[in-house]
Amino acid sequence: MPAIQYPDTRRGDLVEPLFGEKIADPYRWLEGDVRSDPDVADWVSRENTVTESYLTKLPAREWFATHIRTLTDFERFGLPRKAGRHYFYLRNSGLQNQPTLEVRDGLGGKPRLLLDPNSWSSDGTAALDPELWEPSHDGALLAYGVQQSGSDWRVLHVLDVAGGRLLPDELNWVNDSNIAWIGRHGFLYSRFPAPPSGQIFQALTFNKAIWYHLIGTSQSADELVYATPGHPDWGHKAKVTSDGRYAVITSAIGTDARYEVHLIDLAVRKEHVWPVRVLVTGFDHDWKLVDSIGESLWFVTNWDAPRYRLMTINLAAPFPDWREIIRQGDEPLQQASIIGDKLILTYLRDAASHALVVDFRGGAVHELALNDIGTASGFKGKPGDPETFYSFSSFNQPTTIYRYDMASGQSAIFASPKLDFAPDDYAVDQVFYRSRDGTRVPMFIVRRRDIATAHRAVPTLLYGYGGFDIALTPGFSASRMAWLQAGGAFALANLRGGGEYGKDWHDAGRLGNKQNVFDDFIAAGEYLIAQGITPQGGLAIQGGSNGGLLVAAVTNQRPDLFAVANPQVGVMDMLRFDRFTAGRYWVDDYGYPEREADFKILRAYSPYHNIHSGVDYPAILVTTGDTDDRVVPAHSFKYTAALQAAAIGAKPHLIRIETKAGHGSGKPTDKAIAESADELAFLARWTGLEVR
């Protein structure tokens, strides 16, 4: 490959004194909005031209594009949601840019297309939010959220299910909301005030409130249900219990699972009056609403139980009357559902799912059989339902949807993929390794079975996240399967900071403990080499968002260990992350840059501020989207500019900036395939993975 001539990037002379240090920020001008700042737009264009010129010459690019497309081209279904006699679900026929929403009248009814987002834009960048759609309780109406170009902003619309007619309702400035129907005439939702003009994709967000929308009226007529103007940094979301009796308001102050809970008894609500009752105060613990039975509410909580337990509160009691139903166990309780006359409990066992069916007193009925190491999700429904649906997937098994019969305790396939590969040809193993301080950390390793049996060292892609109490669990990815088919190995490390083992595991990888996450990831790489899974010079690393921060930070700390790095949509400037969009929420995991103790921790690992000139770095491909309004692309812009200006060796240090794309959600299939092919071709080039 010819030597790369990076674009000229203007270097400013900005230096700020912070807690006794002089902090240079020469590329702050790249924080300008690419949509409105011509200098930033020009820089993006020039960087993309250089990167595209390099990527088009990679010999494996077309191979990966072809194989990822083939591995993506199968019919996929989402979990059905039942309302009245209707079953609603998402479906992608294979290579559609966006999944459609279909409905059946009865379980065996003929599928009928309700929404086709592929008709909403010529380039596939208008999308139905796969989580933000909800039928009314009788299934007559459907409210749903639309996103544009990957932005986190949503616009809510309402559809008449019987006739497929779009109603005039349109609700703007929705971000991270539920849709909670009250009967069939209206619903609760959360929204922010409109952001300042010209700052839609960058401004901090405050004053998130709950509103009631009456079907057929304009947004200006919506009723304010719950807000805290004295605390503009608090945010609120609502759910309505399946019997329609209670609206439960959950309030948050950051990304931590620490909430206050309030209640509205809808049976006593009067017009334009929303009587709110306090249930939980203090922002101390997690409270996940399960549902209601009569005058009792059920919650999964980590109150005095870091691995969670199931509790109920009797709303008819004159004082808070909490009762434990399922005590804390050895494994984290992820979810509980009331279905029919039983409970379904989902646990994590070393980052893989298992599920129990129990009675209302917690007595075990049986364990729900799941196929091998994988992830089960779903189990939605309500008291009295005869059925529920759940999905199961693993690294070598795309999602299969099952219907579970509550009376018989039997599962039957509702929808399963037709594959052009044999899952048994790929071995999924779980190992445990020791981190720097001796902590035992789990890791999944996936390889072709012939490679695993022969104990051959092959180029390996190591993925991690390690933050925000999020557990990484087994799941299928067409791009990862293409990497495996090419002869590479894939490893997923379950780092501290995640939610794999409950609150203690999360706490061990955040704030002052953040270095543990990096140590865990570095130790994973060392293990893969020491065990002969990958050769020296054959290790690629990848991670997105907080995982992008992880990849960039460990590249600074151990550039000798990795052959190539792919930090995706990463948080790179840890001294200014809280200045944009949702960044202020992340202080729960990262700390406050304006506090000296936190500043010193953040300064020590901030990727943008710790690039070491005079050291050979691995090849690096930074990826981001120009409409990412969660982790604004300025993080990646500034980091890349600093990489390209530093004396860190001859390997390429490039950035790929997707247009009309955000943090990941809503990305069209065509864009996702092209991006993955570029990434894998780059990783293959610098790990020595040869495709045939």
Residues belonging to the active site: 545, 663
Closest CA to 387 of 368, 408, 370: 408
Burial of 294 (0-12, 13-18, 19+ CB in 10 A): exposed
Closest CA to 399 of 320, 473, 300, 454: 473
| The two structure tokens encoding residue 476 | 């299928």
Residue located via tokens 């494994």: 331
Residue located via tokens 């592929």: 118
Closest CA to 125 of 674, 659, 676, 692: 659
Distance between CA 72 and CA 505 in Å, rounded? 34
The secondary structure of residue 110, as a DSSP letter, is P
Helices and strands, counts by H and E, the chain: 11, 39
**Bridge pairing between strands 81-83 and 86-92:** antiparallel
The secondary structure of residue 511, as a DSSP letter, is G
Closest CA to 30 of 573, 630, 621: 573
Distance between CA 417 and CA 507 in Å, rounded? 38
Distance between CA 145 and CA 178 in Å, rounded? 10
Asked if 89 and 81 count as a contact pair (C-beta separation under 8 A), the reply is yes
**Bridge pairing between strands 259-265 and 246-252:** antiparallel
**What φ, ψ does residue 66 adopt, rounded to 5°?**
-65, -45
Distance between CA 199 and CA 528 in Å, rounded? 45
Can you state the percent helix, strand and coil of the chain, rounding each to 5?
20, 35, 40
**Bridge pairing between strands 460-463 and 489-493:** parallel
Q: Is the four-CA dihedral 174, 177, 180, 184 of positive or negative sign? A: positive
Q: What is the DSSP track for 585-624?
A: GGHHHH--TTSHHHHHHHHHH-GGG---TTSPPPEEEEEE
Spatial CB neighbours of 123, under 8 Å, sequence gap ≥ 6? 660, 668
Spatial CB neighbours of 447, under 8 Å, sequence gap ≥ 6? 426, 427, 458, 484, 489, 490, 533
Closest CA to 243 of 154, 182, 195, 310: 182
Residue located via tokens 């590329």: 27
H or E segment to which residue 103 belongs? strand 100-105
